Amino acid sequence: MNPLRELGAFLRAALVLPVPRDHQESDRAFRRRRVVATVTLVVGAVVLGLALRIRPGDTLFYPATVGLAAVWAVGAVASGPLHLGRANSRAGEAARRPVVQSLALGALLLAVFLAGGLVVARVPSLRAPVDRLLDHARLGSLPVIVLITAVNGIAEELYFRGALYAAVGRRHAVLVTTVVYSLTTVGTGIPLLVLAAALLGMLTALQRRVTGGILGPAIIHLTWSLGMLLLLPSVLSAGS
């Protein structure tokens, strides 16, 4: 067994070769989806901007982030039908839900970022803003932050790789949703978070293009975000 060949086959199945599907909708439904997706994006951007102004340790952070998740989720569901999707196997089969495959992609992305965390830990100008972001977990209730992180991760995928992806149209959906998702993090003032959003957004958008649904992207997002929340503080400490 050639490991590189196996890895290449896995990546082609997970990120390159779309699963056959028929998710066509009428022009009227498509226009409605675009209107709902646009309104949701505007409202979500406003709520996100307000949430980012909340200082770590302030209990207002909890309802603000839950409210943001509600905006993404309600907008996504209101936009039209959302699909779970199905995954390719390395043998070309497309009968399974993207669970193990997406867990593996999320774990690979997490490993890359944790390795990068060892570098960030030694650069004060890069570490300081990351520490401020993690202060929401350090100064708040970790179980609550974990739950909120999971809820927001699912809600973001419902909207960005569900409603927005479908509203953009197939030709430019990967690029547009990745750029828009990255721009939503610019207000944090943390360049590394913008980079993280770009890489996460690209990976989940490619998985969405292949599987035709939101299940795979949601699993990738949860694996990465919860892993970063729980493991990155220890990595930063170890790299100091």
What integer pLDDT is reported at residue 1 of this predicted model? 65
Three-state DSSP at 96 gives strand
The C-alpha atoms of residue 4 and residue 111 are separated, in whole angstroms, by 18
What integer pLDDT is reported at residue 92 of this predicted model? 62
**Mean pLDDT computed over every residue of the chain:** 90
What integer pLDDT is reported at residue 94 of this predicted model? 60
* pLDDT tens figures, 40-71: 999 998 998 888 788 877 888 899 999 999 99
**Between residues 9 and 91, the one the model is more confident about:** 9
What integer pLDDT is reported at residue 95 of this predicted model? 67
Nearest residue to 13 via CA among 179, 210, 209, 219: 210
The domain locations on the chain are 25-81+97-239
Q: Which two tokens stand for residue 157?
A: 């995928």
Would you state the torsion angle of the CA atoms of residues 52, 33, 153, 196, taken in this order, to the nearest 10 degrees? -70
Nearest residue to 230 via CA among 128, 122, 150: 150
Q: Which two tokens stand for residue 30?
A: 């498509």
The C-alpha atoms of residue 47 and residue 187 are separated, in whole angstroms, by 12
* pLDDT tens figures, 195-222: 999 999 999 999 999 999 999 999 999 9
pLDDT tier for residue 4 given thresholds of 50, 70 and 90: confident
Residue 91 confidence (pLDDT) above 70? no
